[in-house]
Amino acid sequence: MINTLGLEFCDEGFLAAARVGEQERLVPLEVDGPSSPGFVYFNGSDYLAGREAENLSRIHPRIVTDTCWDQLSLRSSIISTGGKNPLFSELAFHHLKHLWSRLNGSGLPAEKVVFALPGHYIAIEDDEEELEIGLILSMARDLKIPLAGIVDMASASIIPYLPSIDARPFTALHLDIHQYNIVVTVISVSEEIERKHIVRFSELGYAHILSELMPKLANRFLSQTAFDVTHDGKTEQAFYNQIRRLIDELRYAPECSLELGGLKRPRQMVVTHDSLARDLDTVNDSIVQVVSKASSFVGDGPWSLFLSDRASRVPGLSNKLEGWKDCQIIHLDIASAAKGCATFAVDAPRVESLDQTPVITQIPIDESVFVTPNSKREGNALPADVASDSKESRPKAQPNPTHIVFEGISIPLVGDHFIIGTEIDNDQSGLRISSDNKAIAKQHCHIYFTREGLKFETEYTDTTRLNKLPVANTQYLATGDSITLGNKEQLVELLLIHNPS
């Protein structure tokens, strides 16, 4: 079976998925998580990209940029160091190089790759967009990426949802949020998935969301703790990283603690989902207006509003949209476009020359690979990217995880029995977590190395999540899975990776 890979281009966080056998699996692009933001650092000689560059963005703002993908072109960037202004395309190349290096080391090497590009990249009636595609193809050629096609990202994100669609035709309105853009796409779904219209608003995005939250939360933190988070770059960077974490965690919890280390003691502030939603009230109203404008292109007939995982994460936005119009809202899974492209690549031939790479906005859906029966989702539930007990349902060729990542440290999974908890004997293999975390038991969960794979068991299902979803009594682990332990006050995030070295 040929492994195929989909790569989702979004400067808020690039995502990748591989299809092995009949399943798509998320492939982590960073050591600490699945997504890689479009940040690049250049100090005159060395490049850093992705999460590592983002973690320097507040410390060295003049030599870190998050605009290279939004401004992809042959123009000089705003970075100026050592008398050199690298081109936007040069910075973007180093980010893609970083991603391709991570993918090659993931243990899921791909023989065919399909890129999912934002709709405004491939509105090819515009010369600017033609240049963007040409630059991306040149990068793929230099990096020797075995490209099989370029697909409209919003259209590709519908592919994983097809098995749960009972009736066609219908219209999908797809909302996605990038770093500096909101993109709403009108998609017709019948015998093919066809992009009809794009509405792009370039004055809103995750950068604007964070700019809205930073001063409000900083002022509240100062008033509650007498600690100024803006007094130096490192503290401001730590505060920025905490807000990014809050946005992710408050999607699943009503409140979360924001904590920074002071000179004498740590400073804490409880932040609720509702308070962040109120902080973003004006921003969310503006996003709803963009969606409303795009809805004028829908026409007659049934339609649903599809939210990318990035859009679903914005505090308060889903509630605003639910109150805006009586329509069904579908929350797409993380990396749905990457997974859709990995599926599409199964039957897509690899191109002999990248100049012949097809750019696709109409996807036929009569191929059997698109309608492989999956467990059907009900209502608006998030689709579960979780393996079942049955070994037949697992991808046969996928390598097992070899390491578990905790606080940026990669720990080998060794022995026949690996334990995660606060008390582990010296002769036992496992990961010891601080006993200060009262929500984690002495031997909280167990990983057994069996012929079928890595079997995961826990008695503490109320404080354990696998891929952000409740844990069954016994499940099997795969590369890319995430384990969350603890409660909303003290969460521990673990990531399973495959590293053959």
- Which pair of tokens denotes residue 43? 């100090």
pLDDT score at 180: 94
Residues 61-84: what's their mean pLDDT? Answer: 89
Q: Give the pLDDT of residue 220.
A: 94
Taking residues 217-234, what's their average pLDDT? 90
Residue type, 99: L
| For residue 234, pLDDT beyond 60 | yes
Confidence of residue 397 (pLDDT cuts 50, 70, 90): very low
Average pLDDT over residues 477-496: 83
> With pLDDT > 70 as the criterion, what percentage of the chain qualifies?
87
Please determine, for residue 71, whether its predicted confidence score (pLDDT) is greater than 90. yes
Per DSSP, the three-state class of 494 is strand
Cα 441 from Cα 57, distance rounded (Å): 37
**pLDDT of residue 160 exceeding 50:** yes
* Cα dihedral 49, 51, 57, 59 in deg (nearest 10): -110
Confidence at residue 500, expressed as pLDDT on a 0 to 100 scale: 63
Give the per-residue pLDDT at 390: 34
Q: What pLDDT does 385 receive? A: 33
What's residue 372's pLDDT? Answer: 36
Q: How confident is the model at residue 405 (pLDDT cuts 50, 70, 90)?
A: confident
284-288, 458-462, 497-501: range with lowest mean pLDDT: 497-501
Among 81-85, 341-345, 350-354, 380-384, whose mean pLDDT is lowest? Answer: 380-384
Closest to 468 in 3D by CA, of 250, 164, 274: 250
**pLDDT of 386 higher than 80:** no
**Are 478 and 398 contacting, i.e. CB atoms less than 8 angstroms apart?**
yes
pLDDT for the residue 362: 87
Task: Name the average pLDDT for the chain.
Answer: 83
pLDDT over 90 (residue 336) = yes
pLDDT of amino acid 474? 66
Structure tokens at 463: 């404080």
The helix/strand/coil state of 458 is strand
Q: What is the pLDDT of residue 443?
A: 92
pLDDT of residue 110 exceeding 90, the answer is no
447 touches 423 (CB < 8 A): no
pLDDT reported for residue 130: 66
pLDDT for the residue numbered 222: 92
Task: Output the pLDDT for position 209.
Answer: 95
Percent of the chain's residues with pLDDT above 90: 42
**What's the rounded mean pLDDT across residues 351-359?**
82
Contact (CB, 8 A) for 283 and 208: yes
Q: Look at residue 218 in the predicted model and tell me its pLDDT.
A: 93
Q: What is the pLDDT of residue 108?
A: 62
pLDDT of residue 366: 63
Q: Which of 12-16, 400-404, 446-450 has the largest mean confidence?
A: 12-16
Strand partners, 431: 420
Which phi and psi angles does 221 have, rounded to 5°? -65, -40
pLDDT of residue 90: 94
Interval 169-207: pLDDT, tens: 888 999 999 999 999 999 998 888 999 999 999 889 999
Global pTM value: 0.73
Domains of the chain from N-terminus onward = 4-164+337-371 (3.30.420.40), 391-497 (2.60.200.20)
What's the mean pLDDT in 467-493? 79
96: tokens are: 């893609």
Do the Cβ atoms of 250 and 318 come closer than 8 Å? Answer: no
The string of pLDDT tens digits covering residues 84-105 is 789 999 999 999 999 999 888 7
What pLDDT is attached to residue 143? 93
Residue 369 has pLDDT above 50, yes or no: no
pLDDT at 127 over 90: no
Determine phi and psi for 214, rounding to 5 degrees: -55, -55
